[in-house]
């Protein structure tokens, strides 16, 4: 769960939270790119229906539910806000693989559905944000890796349903991201093209938190670049 962090705009010196900032930017990009929320969702599809109707039309009801994506908006906004939160680093480093690797090859050996869920979720989120917003060549990449992102979110949803014993609000979000992964990448690309730099935040981090963050970075750097043998 994202923890809202306050930051200062370097140009205006206005103080804002990361969540409110990404809320405005992401929804603005949806509107500007012609991808308004809940397209095709029928608010009255299920009104006045009895249980027998639900039983016979469960597939149509689920497909209608999946077109509602205000919850996806919230999920993506919180995920973006987490990028500015140093507490997210340890979880990302634990499960993240590089772009050309497959987390599924590692996750298949996990005997804990919670670990599988986190592994797929972390890597699906990375693909979504990397392909849409963070990669300097995102506008030139087309639909490369879209199938991998779809698979990761689908696997995250399946693992979460195994934990919960069925559907939940979050597993539905994962399914929506799986079904329309490319759409949300394109929205993030539109968001990127509206603004020069999303991560020039000036955030007041407590000294103790900053030291812990620096220690984690140094440990991770040492793992990836071991000192030469004497």
170's torsion region: left (phi>0), alpha (psi -120 to 50) or beta? alpha
pLDDT at residue 202, as a whole number? 46
Q: Which of 11-25, 81-95, 112-126, 210-224 has the highest mean pLDDT?
A: 112-126
- Which among 79, 25, 14, 13 has a CA at the least distance from the CA of 187? 25
Where do the structural domains in the chain lie, given as residue ranges? 90-199
202 forms beta bridges with 8
What gap in Å lies between CA 198 and CA 179, rounded to an integer? 27
174-206: per-residue pLDDT in tens? 999 999 999 999 999 999 988 766 555 544 556
């Amino acid at each position: 769960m994202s923890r809202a962090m306050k930051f200062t705009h370097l140009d205006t010196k206005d103080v804002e939270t990361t969540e409110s900032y990404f809320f405005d930017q992401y929804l603005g990009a949806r509107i500007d790119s012609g991808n308004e929320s809940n397209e095709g969702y029928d608010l009255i599809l299920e009104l006045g229906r009895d249980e027998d109707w639900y039983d016979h039309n469960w597939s149509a009801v689920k497909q209608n539910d999946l077109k509602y994506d205000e919850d996806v908006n919230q999920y993506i906004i919180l995920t973006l806000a987490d990028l500015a939160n140093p507490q997210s680093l340890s979880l990302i480093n634990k499960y993240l693989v590089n772009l050309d690797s497959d987390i599924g090859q590692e996750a298949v050996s996990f005997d804990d559905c919670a670990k599988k869920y986190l592994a797929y979720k972390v890597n699906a989120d990375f693909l979504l944000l990397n392909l849409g917003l963070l990669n300097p060549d995102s506008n030139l990449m087309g639909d490369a890796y879209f199938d991998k992102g779809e698979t990761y979110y689908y696997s995250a949803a399946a693992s979460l349903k195994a934990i919960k014993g069925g559907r939940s609000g979050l597993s539905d979000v994962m399914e929506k991201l799986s079904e329309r992964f490319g759409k949300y990448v394109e929205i993030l690309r539109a968001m990127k093209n509206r603004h020069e730099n999303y991560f020039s935040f000036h955030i007041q981090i407590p000294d103790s938190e900053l030291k812990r963050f620096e220690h984690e970075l140094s440990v991770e750097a040492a793992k990836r670049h071991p000192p030469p043998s004497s």
